Structure 1
Amino acid sequence: MRLVLTCRLGGPEHSLATTVTLRRALKASLARVEVDGLDEVDVHLTLGGAVTSAEGHGGVHHLRYSATRRRLTVNVVVPASEVARSTPAGALAPYLDTMSRRIAERCAPGDADAVTRALAGACREALDTVPGSG
């Protein structure tokens, strides 16, 4: 499946290089996952920071699936307080797990557990390659 990932960084403390590395790793990992009826996942990621904290808005929002276009769009928001307690990749991990579960439930309800494991595993694999994620 193809991933389109756009990022909004909530402050200057976020490294653009880390975001680029994350995008490349997620694209490579998710490219190996196949979900019947889904060709593209468009993720808008917001990492809260000093300028825009995103407090109170954290989570996986506005998941929309188009069966005719075989495309899913979703917003993932990680509040600054969670990023501050970890690394951006570490704070993002539980949100990607939630996103994986919700995608599976929406696009593959008959095989949601297996699809969730495949998507979440690919996301975790990608996060492991991001510097400072451990």
Structure 2
Amino acid sequence: MKNTNRGGFSLVEVLVALVIVAVGIVSILLIFPMTLERQRVNNLRSVAGKTAQTELNQIKASDANQNFFDWLADNKLVFVNPEQHFESEFIQAQVVSCHSMGEYNRGLYRVTLGLRLWDNRMEYYTTYVTDR
């Protein structure tokens, strides 16, 4: 007696398996550019946060003395020079604004540092400085 039962896959089964694998690969390839973009944006925000924290810590350390007002005058709008700053590949410019807080000038100032990133988004960071 001959055994006519043959093992293996039919052409339809192979094609269905290939379609399933192709859909999986295409979906992974579509997700890959989105993850790269998210990584780039997160890197931009991380560098902007570190830069802003450094600047704001310097402001807080000096309080609102004459050096503080000189720093404000010098940093109203600063374009980042690529030769001087490693952040220049992430940050185009920084803008500083200062407002006295309260109805009367009691020596409390709100300082806002705005950083323009290379994708033209603005990130704002705020701190408070006192002259006491």
TM-score interval, normalised by the smaller of the two chains: under 0.3
Q: TM-score, normalised by structure 1?
A: 0.26
Of structures 1 and 2, the one with the larger relative CO (CA 8 A, separation 6+) is 1
Q: TM-score, normalised by structure 2?
A: 0.27
Larger Cα Rg: Structure 1 or Structure 2?
A: 2
